[in-house]
Structure 1
């Protein structure tokens, strides 16, 4: 009897698998039909309804056969054809010695404790108790990216940016008496070449997992783009300019040399002195970059009456200082230092190829192993046109000689 039920169960399982495959294919056809015509035909609707009915019927039949098979196996066990029968916790309690004579021993307000054999999770059929599945994917925290919001943007179709920089101007203009020769001023230029660099990384994945778990595919896409932008930001700020790296702003910036020493000098004073230094180079500062920790220290600065200097914490505004926006970085090498500069006028980003994600099944042995290779890359360049418009250095730098 049990063998017959198992054969039926196997047949229904195969039928259900076939119907599920047909249903999946039909769903893909429905999506294509809606995309092409904007609606489903009546014939397609009828076919989908029929498949859904068959799927529901087979599922119900499968559950019924699984129940019948359990009953047959239990009956065989009671006849000695299998393992000893495992009684339910309730039956174990009723048949225990402690429960016998309960009518004569139990009274109002009293209870009886009966030993019950433990029922382990191994005694429960698979699928009876399912683990709770939390929706979504718990992703790692990410640093806020900001540098593109500060620097002027642009595009290029070339592998390098060729540009001309004015490096000097000797102004000889003066009042010229009639009949006398006019003076010549001297303007100096230098040619610059900024290469476009490629920032990229790759990822391997199983084709099946991305087909079956679409949320994972979108998450991988987002994570790879973020990883690319994170490195891009580090390059814009700290790139060495060698070994294929961008030449970042900080290595080219002027060293902070405060013109004078204000009384009771603070980091807030240092940022104002950096504005002055850039103004003397005739390129006014339009933003600051500092570490999270340093900005927290500045925001917590208090006056002699223990009141906050910058703002009321209950209605604090956006991060600004001296009328310029303050953006924060978590780069550990930048703690205790700052960057002030004319980001919009003194530097420019040139994008050759926007960040993009490409998936291929033809890398090495991907086709054979049903794997895919995911590549994310971009091509970009950074031109720092006026390095003296940027000032960087540690807070508390000594006053410049002669200041």
Structure 2
């Protein structure tokens, strides 16, 4: 709220002219005017002074009136500018009077004009603010075009596994199950030893991962970025589910048969007293070496990977680079990745390139169609994303899966 105050005072002299006349000497009263008379001279000076004061006060009143007129004119100009800015309307639907009009029409101003001009003028007017009931409707928001989405996890497992493609609904391969090597030196004419080799047929069926979302045609037409945003979100959803299936798929029903359910169990007999998580991983790598399938990568839970940074030795020194060291990307010379798909406290060490292979049948695709249920009559669209793939764990012994022992630091 704005308060306009004006303070005008009229200082009228109180001259006791009548008293002078009454106190005039008796010898002067009734006689003809004598310009040389001292009393007449004093009276003349007083009249002249009175005229000067009266003129000065009148000038001040005229100046105040002009200032009031200027104030009213300025307020009307402001009102006109605001009206033009609002295209003929009023801000916020409030009062239609300008601050100047409110002041001129106030009782305080009327009382001032009808009085001798002495005292204060105070009138309360409505200030223009950014509130919704004032000028707020004219302030345009600074709208950004990008869409701020939810965080996405880093996808790591596919990059570790050997890639491939297929044109069928199933990938069949022959897997060796037995190798009994009885080769030996023999004497001339003696029977040679027989070795045992066996194979079995294995199958990796192609599985479909898919999902969809409904969206109105109007939204798709009116928001150009919406289609690309939905496309990205649906593709990301496929990748997240794919990573879970590659690691943990049970193989039952339409699930992919994942790596961990087929991996070789970690030999806990390798653990030693006081082992850290680094020691446990070294034991698992050694186990893969014994299986003649040297590990090429390590998979951990994200939290466990971060916990490795703060493991200390007996002298309370960080084993890794400490708070100023680089992030952990390799352990014992093998690349290490983190994923929420891996359970906390567990690890997977493996020869990923030799042990498993992905066969893509259909790369992730996103399609939009109105031919779904009653979409046509409702102006709705169905956005569907799907992919088809198979994964073959050709050498289960190439993978070692286990859990960190208590006290290992993770």
Task: Give the TM-score normalised by structure 2.
Answer: 0.69
Q: Which runs of 5+ in 1 are unaligned?
A: 1-65, 75-82, 107-111, 399-403
Counterpart Cα distance in 2 of 1:360 and 1:236 = 30
| Deviations 1:256-276 (CA, angstroms, capped at 9, x unpaired) | 213433342111111111111
The aligned residue for residue 151 of structure 1 is 161
1:259, 1:277 within 8 Å by CA — same for their partners in 2? no
Report deviation, 1:389: 1.6
Q: RMSD value over aligned CA atoms?
A: 3.2
Q: 1:349 pairs with 343, 355, 358, which one?
A: 358
Q: 1:297 pairs with 307, 310, 314, which one?
A: 307
Q: Counterparts in 2 of 1:27-106, with a 5 A limit? A: 71=88, 86-89=96-99, 92=102
The aligned residue for residue 64 of structure 2 is none
The aligned residue for residue 359 of structure 1 is 368
Counterpart Cα distance in 1 of 2:248 and 2:212 = 23
In the alignment, structure 1 residue 375 sits paired with structure 2 residue 375: no
Q: 1:264 pairs with 255, 266, 274, which one?
A: 274
More helix by share: 1
1:358, 1:376 within 8 Å by CA — same for their partners in 2? yes
Counterpart Cα distance in 1 of 2:238 and 2:123 = 64
1:197, 1:245 within 8 Å by CA — same for their partners in 2? yes
Change (3 A) 1:341 1:86: same
In the alignment, structure 1 residue 274 sits paired with structure 2 residue 259: no
Report deviation, 1:92: 4.5
2:309, 2:328 within 8 Å by CA — same for their partners in 1? no
Counterpart Cα distance in 1 of 2:267 and 2:122 = 83
Q: 2:403 pairs with 385, 394, 402, which one?
A: 394
The aligned residue for residue 344 of structure 2 is 335
Report deviation, 1:324: 0.6
Report deviation, 1:131: 2.9
Counterpart Cα distance in 1 of 2:290 and 2:122 = 89
Counterpart Cα distance in 1 of 2:256 and 2:191 = 48
2:220, 2:227 within 8 Å by CA — same for their partners in 1? yes
The aligned residue for residue 121 of structure 1 is 132
Counterpart Cα distance in 2 of 1:142 and 1:99 = 67
Report deviation, 1:118: 6.6
Report deviation, 1:137: 0.5
Counterpart Cα distance in 2 of 1:384 and 1:354 = 20
Change (3 A) 1:179 1:97: farther
| Deviations 1:320-363 (CA, angstroms, capped at 9, x unpaired) | 101111110123x7011111111110111011110001111211
Report deviation, 1:318: 4.7
The aligned residue for residue 189 of structure 2 is 179
Q: 1:130 pairs with 126, 140, 145, which one?
A: 140
Counterpart Cα distance in 1 of 2:315 and 2:100 = 72
- The structure with the larger Rg is 2
Change (3 A) 1:125 1:269: closer
In the alignment, structure 1 residue 288 sits paired with structure 2 residue 298: yes
Change (3 A) 1:70 1:314: closer
Q: Counterparts in 2 of 1:146-295, with a 5 A limit? A: 146-295=156-305
SS in 2 for 1:136: coil
Counterpart Cα distance in 1 of 2:217 and 2:227 = 10
Report deviation, 1:91: 5.4
Q: What count of residue pairs does the alignment treat as equivalent?
A: 316
Change (3 A) 1:89 1:297: farther
2:94, 2:134 within 8 Å by CA — same for their partners in 1? no
1:256, 1:397 within 8 Å by CA — same for their partners in 2? no
The aligned residue for residue 38 of structure 2 is none
Q: Which runs of 5+ in 2 are unaligned?
A: 1-82
